[in-house]
Amino acid sequence: MISTAAVVDQRARTLGVLRLSLTARCNLDCSYCRPGATDPPGLMTLDQQLRLIRVAATLGAHTLRLTGGEPLLSQRLLPLLEAVSRGRSTLGDPMRGLRHIALTTNGVLLTPNRARLLRAAGLDRLTISLDAVDGSVAARMAGLRGGQAAGERLVRQVIDGVMSAKLAGFVAEQGEIKLNAVIKKGENDTQLLPLAALARRYGLELRLIEYMDVGNRNGWVADQVLPAAEMVRLIQARWPLQPLGRDSGATANRWRFTDDRGGLGVIASISEPFCGDCNRLRITADGQAFTCLFASEGTDLKPVLDNSAALQQRIAGLWLHRSDRYSEERHHHLPRSSHAEMAYLGG
């Protein structure tokens, strides 16, 4: 019998968000992410994913975020959403505790039909990533060959994806569509105002993310991080902003434009770490659990994925012993020999 006790870690943090990666593969090759070409062997089955979601909900998760790699590449996405939706409406199912089901996507495959199917299958929120409005900058950031024309095509696809989401019933003004952008100093910081203008035009919240030292392949150097405070300063000089603060457990420090067109959130993982109330459990597509984005190794859940009680015990134990706060301690760490990649971890 599954208990419903919330788990608390060594720093008094509770589990709140399950980030489940559906694939490590991607149809883009962003310079700050650099996904691998293939999935690891032994992807979880649908039953295992559902068991995991139920166990996480039992242990206190109120939000499920599906991610990757590019989750729209996964054939599993719709059946999973449909099964979660059934769980959320079934009396006694722990999934009833899930308040939000969200998806992070690069938007390339977000056609009108796909957006409609996602909404019908029970998806509540979409976060769509786009790092530039200018075609040549977008192509460089996304690792596309084909220069400006390829970048312009990408920007068009993403904007069309936003329109498809709106037509499918996702309401941007209620926070159901957000736009993510990673900002690399000297690479796409010229795009801050164009991205903000785009987000404002479509009523979206723009989430500006500091470039993070996740993975081994992106060649991260601290000099390429544009601090979030600087991003806010540049945008505020163009459109007045009012601070809304950061909700407990959330990643973004939020602002409203005083004319109420769109919104702004900044994710200052490097300059203002928020490890103190981190509530995120990340599970890779092959069933490795990570409590920190910056960890080198995960905990293998595969041996217990077919047994709810054992799985609950393993995850509860992992969370109870958790004490990581890498971002807050970044400057004390020696360079690490290996880190898990972002596209594998699920961002």
Binding mask 94-113 toward ligand SF4 (x if CB under 6 A, else -) reads ------------x-------
Q: Does 77 bind ligand SF4 (CB under 6 A)?
A: no
* Nearest Cα to Cα of residue 55 among 20, 106, 9: 20
Q: Which partner in ligand SF4, ligand SAM, none is near 211 (CB below 5 to 8 A by kind)?
A: ligand SAM
Site string for ligand SAM, 253-292 (x = CB under 6 A): ----------------------------------------
Tokens for 324?
């990581």
Which helix (H) or strand (E) is 210 found in, with range? Answer: strand 205-210
Q: Give the nearer residue to ligand SF4 in terms of CB position, either 32 or 319.
A: 32
Which residue, 127 or 312, is less far from ligand SF4 as judged by CB? Answer: 127
Q: Residues with Cβ < 8 Å from 346, sequence gap 6 or more?
A: 19, 20, 21, 67, 68, 69, 282, 283, 284
Interacting partner of 29 out of ligand SAM, ligand SF4, none (Cβ under 5 to 8 A depending on kind) = ligand SF4
Asked if 343 touches ligand SAM (CB under 6 A), the answer is: yes
Binding-site member from 31, 129, 191, 284 for ligand SAM (CB under 6 A)? 129
Sole binder of ligand SF4 in the list 15, 16, 18, 35 (CB under 6 A): 35
Distance CA 342, CA 311 (A): 24
- Using Cβ positions, the residue closest to ligand SAM within the complex turns out to be 347
To ligand SF4, the closest distance from the beta carbon of 130 in angstroms equals 10
Q: Would you count residue 209 as binding ligand SAM (CB under 6 A)?
A: yes
**188 part of the interface to ligand SAM, by CB under 6 A:** no
The item of ligand SAM, ligand SF4, none sharing an interface with residue 301, based on CB under 5 to 8 Å by kind, is: none
Binding ligand SF4 (rule: CB under 6 A), the pick from 69, 265, 287, 298 is: 69
d(CA 227, CA 268): 7
- Note whether 296 and 238 are within 8 A (CB): no
State which of residues 83, 343, 344, 345 lies at the interface with ligand SF4 (CB under 6 A). 343
Q: Which does 209 bind (CB under 5 to 8 A by kind): ligand SAM, ligand SF4, none?
A: ligand SAM
Task: State the binding partner of 49 from ligand SAM, ligand SF4, none, CB within 5 to 8 A by kind.
Answer: none
Q: Does 346 bind ligand SF4 (CB under 6 A)?
A: no
Phi and psi at residue 224, to the nearest 5°:
-90, 5
Among ligand SF4, ligand SAM, none, residue 326 binds (CB under 5-8 Å by kind)? none
Which of 318, 316, 314 lies closest to 303 in space, CA to CA?
314
Q: Are 98 and 61 in contact (CB under 8 A)?
A: yes
Per DSSP, helices labelled H in the chain are 46-58, 77-88, 112-120, 135-142, 147-167, 192-202, 228-236, 308-320, 326-329, 342-345
d(CA 178, CA 221): 27
Contact 327, 275 (CB under 8 A): yes
Rg for the chain (alpha carbons), in Å? 19
Residue 328 interacts, among ligand SAM, ligand SF4, none and using kind-specific CB cut-offs from 5 to 8 Å, with: none
| 271: Cα separation from own chain's centroid | 19
